[in-house]
A and B are shown apart, each in its own frame.
Chain A
C-alpha cells in the first residue's frame, strides 16, 4: 500500500539518513572536544597553549552548530516525510471509503471506520517517523559513542563500565511489557468509564423518571474506583523503569569514575579522556532510555498498519462503474425475476421480483419493515452488485451501464434525511453546485419546505448540524427531497421519505410531484398507504417477495394484506384491541 508513496516521496529518506548519520557522528565529537580542552589546561601554566585551548572552545561551538544544521535537516526529511505519509494515507483512506461499495460499508461500525482515520493513520506515521529516526539515530549514536570511548579513551575501561548496560536493556524490555499490559487495562477501563458517562447522560431522563440517581451514581463510582486502582497499579510499575535504568547507568558511571580515576592517577589516562568518557557514556544512556518508547510505538504502528492494509485492500467499486456513459435516455425500467442475496448471508433478501416501470409512471412499494423494500431501491441505484439479467434500463442490462450513469439520472431520497453540516443552501445544491437560487427555491417549494426555511432567521444560510438550528425530522426529510428534486431527475426514488411529515403536508407534496413531474418516473416506498394510494401500481412486498400487486382499488377489492393494512391504518387499533 506504500509503493506509490515511496515512489513519490521515498527519496527523502536518502538525504535524511545521510544527515542523520553525520549528525550522530558530530554529536559524539562533543565530549572529545571538551576532554581535549580540559587536557590542554591540565598542565603547568607555562605550558598551556592558548591556541590549543581556544581551538577546542571553538570546536565545541562548531560541533553544536553542526548538530543544529544536520539534525534540523534530517528531521525535516525523515520526520517531515512521515507527515507526507500521514497526508497520503489519510487521502488514500478517504478515497477508499468513497469507493467502497455500500454493501461493505454498511457492515462496518462507523466508530471503527473513524478509528482508521484518527488512530491508525497517526500510529503508522509515528512508526515511519519517530520510530525509524529514533532507532537509527539512537543506535548509530550509541555505536559511535562506544567506538570513540574505545579509540579515544580506553578499551578495557569501556568494556568494564558498559558491563551493566545489558541489565538496563533487560529491565526496560521486561518492565516495558508489563507497563504496556497495565496501560491497556487502564485504557479499556477508561472507555468503559466514558461509556458509562455517555449512557448516564443520554439516559438521564429515564434515570430521573425512575428516581434512581443514587443507584446510578454508585455504579459510576465503582467504575471510577476501578480506574483509580488501575492507574495507581500502572504507576507502581511504570515508576520503576526510569529509576532502575538510572541506577544501572549510575553503576556504569561509578565504575568509570573509580577505575578511570585510578587510571588517571597511574598515568594510563589523561583527565580529559575521563571527561570524554563520561560525556560519551551519556550518549549511550539516552538511546537505551528511549528503547521503551520505541518498542511501544512500533507495536502500535505495526498493528495499525495491518488494520489499514486490510481496509485499503478491500475491493472497491470497479472503475468501469465510475465512467461516464450514454445512458438509454428516459427509458423504461424493467425488473425481471430479480433474486438477491446480500453477500455473506444465507437468505434471499429479494425473491423473484418482476416489475415494469414505464416512463412517467408512479410505483408504490409497501410492506412490513425488513421486507426488502429498501434493498430493491438500492439495487435500482446499483448500490450493490445486481445479478446479471435482472434489471434493465430500456433494453440494456443495468450491469452493462456504469453505476455513475445509473445514479446520474436518478434522484434518491433516503429514509433518514441525512444532511451534511453546511448551510441549507449547500445541502440543496449538493447535487448541482452550479444551480441558481431560483432552482433551489423551486425545488424547496416542490418539497413544501420553502416556507419553513424562509421562516428561519438565516433563511437558506441556516447551518445544519450541531450548532445550527434544530431541524425537525420532517424538515430534514423535505430538505433531502428538495436536494433530489433540484436536478429534475428522470427517476425519483422516495424511500419512506415522508415518514416524519404530517399527513397534510404529505398530500401537498404528492400533488406537487404529480403536477410538476408529469412524465417523470417515481417510486414511492412508504409505510403509510396514503402516500401510495394514487400510484399506477402498488407492490406489497413481504419477506422479499411480491405478495400482492395492483392499483389501490384492485388491492382493496382483493381484500388481502394490503386491504387489511389499509383498514388498520384508517381506523387504527383501539385501546383494547382484541387480537
Chain B
C-alpha cells in the first residue's frame, strides 16, 4: 500500500499534463483573489489609523472616500478572478475526467474475457463510475484548495509579521491550538464517519434485499423478525449519527472560543503596550488591532479545510490505485493477433486442444474434431464436460494452452480478431439486450439497413411479436425485461444472423420455457442455421437429432461421435443419455 501511494500520485499528476495551462491560470487567479483577502483589512487599517485616529489630512485618492472606493475595487477584482478561477477549474477537472472515463472504458472494452471475469461486472462498474467521480474531487477541488489554503496561511503570517511582529507572535499562539483541536476532532469524526458509512451501507443493502424478498417474507410471516433485525441496524445508525452531530457541533464554536481568546489576548497585549507596560513607547495602532482581529478569523477555515483535504486525498488515492491497477491490466486481447483478413468460409477444426481456466484443472483434454462448411454439429454431455468452453475457444475469448484451432485451415492466431469475430456469431445462454430500440439491438452498431434487420427478424420468427411491440423502433427496457425469456431468445437469434455470419455457435438455453415458445424457438433455430456452419451446445437431446454429427463430451474428452442413428445403434453413452431422458 505504502509503495503504491507515490506512484499513484505521480500518475495522477501526469494525467494533468495536457491541461496545465488551465491549472497555471487557476493558480494565477488564486494568487490575485488571495491578495484581496489580505488587502481588504489593510485598507480598513489605513482608514482607521491614518484618518480616524491620527486624523491626517486627506488629499485625492489618499482619503477615506478614495480608500473606500479602492476597497470596493479590490472586492470587484477578486470577485472577477474568483469567477474566472472556478470556470477554468471546471474545464481543467472535467477535461481530465472526460479523458479518464474514456481511458477506463476503452481499457475495459479491450480487456480479455479472462480479466473481465476476474474483476466481475460489479467492480468494473464501480471503477468506471464511482472511482472516476472520486478523482473529480481531487482535480477540481483538492488540488486548488491545497494551494489556496497554504498560500493564504503563509501570506497571513507574512502580512501580520510585517504589520506588527510582536502582536503577530501573540496571535500565532493560537495556530497550534486551532490545528491541534481541529485535527483531533476531525480524526474522531472520520473514524465515526467510516462507521456511519458502513452501517448505512448495510441498511440500504437490507432494504433492497427485503424489497426483493418481500414475497417470501410475507409468505413465511417473518415480518416481525425482519423488522427486529432492521430496528437494530437503524438504532445503531442513529447512535453514530448523534456522535457525529455532537462532534460537528463542537468544532466550529470551539474555534470561535479560541479565536476570541486570541482577540482578548491581543486587546490585553495592545492595552499594555499603549500604557507602556512593555517599556519603550511602541505605540499600538488601533487599525492594526482591528485588522488583526479580522486576520485571526481567517486562520480557521484553511486549517479546517487542510485537515479535511487529508481525508479526501486518502480516498482519492484509494480510487486512483484501483483505477491505475485496472489500467495496468493487459488490454490487448490477443497477444498473437494476426493479419489474416479474408472473410470466413466456415470450416472449423480442433487439433488436440487442451485447455484449463486455472492451473491444472484441465477442462478440455486433447479435443480434436473437424466441421466442414455448412455442416451442423452438436456437443452433448453432462454439466462441466467442457461444452461451453468450446464456444469460448472458437471466438478466441480464451487461448488454449496446447493444441491448435483452425478456421478455414488458418490457425486462429493468424486471424484478425475483428474479421474472426464478425464471421462467427455466438448466441449465449443468457441473452443480454441493450436499452434502446429493437433495431439497435439487432444491428449492434453495424450499418444495417432496415431490410436486413427485417429479414433477420423474419428468419428468426421474431417478426410477429416485434410488430406487436412497436416494430423496429419498439423500446427495449433494462436487460430486455419487457420481453419474455423466449422472445429475448428469438431477438438474440435475429441479432446473430443479421450480418449473415459463416459460422453460428449456439449455446442452448437451459431455462425451461413453456412449450409453445419452445416450439417457436426450435423452428427459428432450424431456419437460422440453414446455409451456414452451425455448432450447437445442446442441453436437451431432443433438439439435435438431425444434426450431421453429434459429439459426446465427457470430462474434457470426446468419447463418441456420429449422427443420431449411428450413435443409437452403437448403444453407448449417447444412447444411454437418450434413454434416461425418455424414461420420465
Contact = CB atoms under 8 A, between A and B. Distances in A.
B52 A217 contact: no
B68 interface: yes
B219 A412 contact: yes
B214 A97 contact: yes
With most chain A CB atoms within 10 A of its CB, the pick from B85, B89, B108, B428 is B108
Interface in B452-475: none
Contact of A224 (B52, B101, B211, B333): B101
Given A98-B218, A243-B82, A75 B245 contact: yes
B426 A117 contact: no
Interface string A392-427: 000000000000100110101010001011000000
Contacts of B204: 114, 117-118
Given A114-B207, A201-B124, A504-B580, A243 B80 contact: yes
A72 B249 CA distance: 5
B128 A213 contact: no
Interface in A500-532: 500, 502-504, 507, 527-528, 530
Interface residues of B, number: 157
B363 interface: no
B515 A527 contact: yes
Interface stretch (A149-157, A257-265, A300-308, A328-336): A257-265
A243 B79 contact: yes
Given A67-B253, A250-B71, A80 B397 contact: no
Interface stretch (A139-147, A356-364, A571-579): A571-579
B514 interface: yes
B421 A577 contact: no
Nearest to B297: A282
Contacts of A271: 48, 52-53, 286
A205 B253 contact: no
A227 interface: yes
Interface stretch (B306-314, B349-357, B516-524): B516-524
Contacts of B523: 573, 577, 579
Interface string A89-115: 011001101111010010000100110
Given A60-B260, A244-B79, A76 B249 contact: yes
B417 A228 contact: no
Contacts of A236: 87, 90
Does more than half of chain B's interface fall in helix, strand or loop, or is it mixed? helix
B243 to A, nearest CB: 10
A200 B445 CA distance: 13
A562 to B, nearest CB: 10
Contacts of B238: 83-84, 86-87
Interface residues of A, number: 148
Contacts of A206: 428, 432, 434, 444
A213 B422 CA distance: 12
Interface in A234-251: 234-236, 238-240, 242-244, 246-247, 250-251
B257 A418 contact: no
A198 interface: yes
Contact of B525 (A38, A207, A211, A575): A575
A565 B515 contact: yes
B183 interface: no
A257 B207 CA distance: 58
Nearest to A219: B445
B246 interface: yes
Contacts of B275: 45, 48, 50
Interface in A63-79: 63-65, 67-68, 71-72, 75-76, 79
Given A37-B267, A232-B94, A572 B286 contact: no
Given A210-B422, A575-B529, A577-B519, A466 B122 contact: yes
Contacts of B421: 208-211
Contacts of B325: none
B125 interface: yes
Contacts of A95: 227
B266 to A, nearest CB: 9
Contacts of A231: 90, 94
A2 interface: no
B116 A209 contact: no
Nearest to A466: B122
B94 A217 contact: no
B511 interface: yes
Contacts of A13: none
B581 interface: yes
Interface string A262-298: 1011000001001100100000000000000000000
B330 interface: no
A209 B423 CA distance: 10
Interface stretch (B2-10, B154-162, B367-375, B544-552): B544-552
Contacts of B95: 228
A111 B512 CA distance: 28
Interface string B100-121: 0110011011100100100001
B346 interface: no
B102 A220 contact: yes
Interface string A560-574: 000001001111111
B122 A54 contact: no
Interface in A338-391: 367-370, 381, 383
Contacts of A105: 211, 214-215
Given A265-B52, A500-B510, A575 B547 contact: yes
B435 A199 contact: yes
Contact of B261 (A61, A219, A410): A61
Given A271-B286, A574-B543, A262 B264 contact: no
B128 A247 contact: no
B444 to A, nearest CB: 5
A41 interface: yes
B242 to A, nearest CB: 6
A225 B98 contact: yes
A314 interface: no
Given A271-B52, A575-B526, A41 B286 contact: yes
22 contacts: A41-B284, A45-B276, A53-B268, A60-B260, A71-B249, A98-B226, A198-B125, A208-B333, A209-B424, A232-B94, A239-B86, A254-B69, A254-B72, A261-B51, A367-B514, A368-B517, A418-B216, A430-B216, A499-B511, A503-B581, A573-B522, A575-B522
Given A80-B242, A210-B421, 13 more contacts: A48-B275, A64-B259, A72-B249, A102-B214, A113-B207, A204-B121, A232-B90, A253-B72, A265-B51, A430-B220, A569-B515, A572-B541, A575-B525
Name the 6 nearest CB pairs between A and B, nearest first. Answer: A572-B542, A250-B75, A573-B522, A235-B90, A64-B260, A243-B79
